[in-house]
Amino acid sequence: MSAFLRPWRILLIAVALAVAVPAAHAIDPLPFKDRAQELRFQNLTRQLRCLVCQNEDLADSNADLARDLRHQIFKMMQAGKTDAQIKQYLVERYSDYVLYKPPVKPSTWLLWFGPGVILLIGAFGVARYVRGRARTAPSMPPPADGDDW
């Protein structure tokens, strides 16, 4: 084997391992009764936020807490709980933060309307700044010879 091909072989093996390791961690086999129950579980875990990762749902998170919550949800589904009952249990335990779409109520107004208010304040500030600069900018007289250069 030539010295040139050896580093490429090592690089190829490293890339294959880098791709395979996260996939191995993502496997979380649960004994679903049927495909409908599996789809219900997937739908429900996509509506709930991982409390560790913050911007990942429970279905995609590899955190230990997310795995534990997925197993807890699975057990509650096996016990006959509805999606609303499961969500209510998690909200009572972890607050509305666990929901990807929390309800609109006084305690979540900042979450729902805060980004829009900040955007409006920023737009108002930029407009005011631009108007102020336009008023104070000295006007340039046109060139006497008519040449723009």
Residue 103 has pLDDT above 60, yes or no: yes
| pLDDT band of 34, cuts 50, 70, 90 | confident
Residue 89 has pLDDT above 80, yes or no: yes
Decide: 42 and 35 in contact? Cβ < 8 Å.
no
* Spatial CB neighbours of 25, under 8 Å, sequence gap ≥ 6: 62
- C-alpha 105/C-alpha 95 separation (Å) is 13
User: Considering only CA atoms, which of 142, 58, 133, 141 is closest in space to residue 98?
Assistant: 58
CA angle at 69 for the pair 67 and 71, rounded to the nearest 5°: 70
Task: Determine the residue type at 62.
Answer: N
| pLDDT band of 90, cuts 50, 70, 90 | very high
Residue 26 has pLDDT above 60, yes or no: no
pLDDT value at residue 91: 92
Say whether domain 22-102 belongs to CATH 1.10.8.640: yes
Greater model confidence, 54 or 114: 114
Chain position carrying tokens 């409006």: 120
Tell me the mean pLDDT in the region 113-118: 92
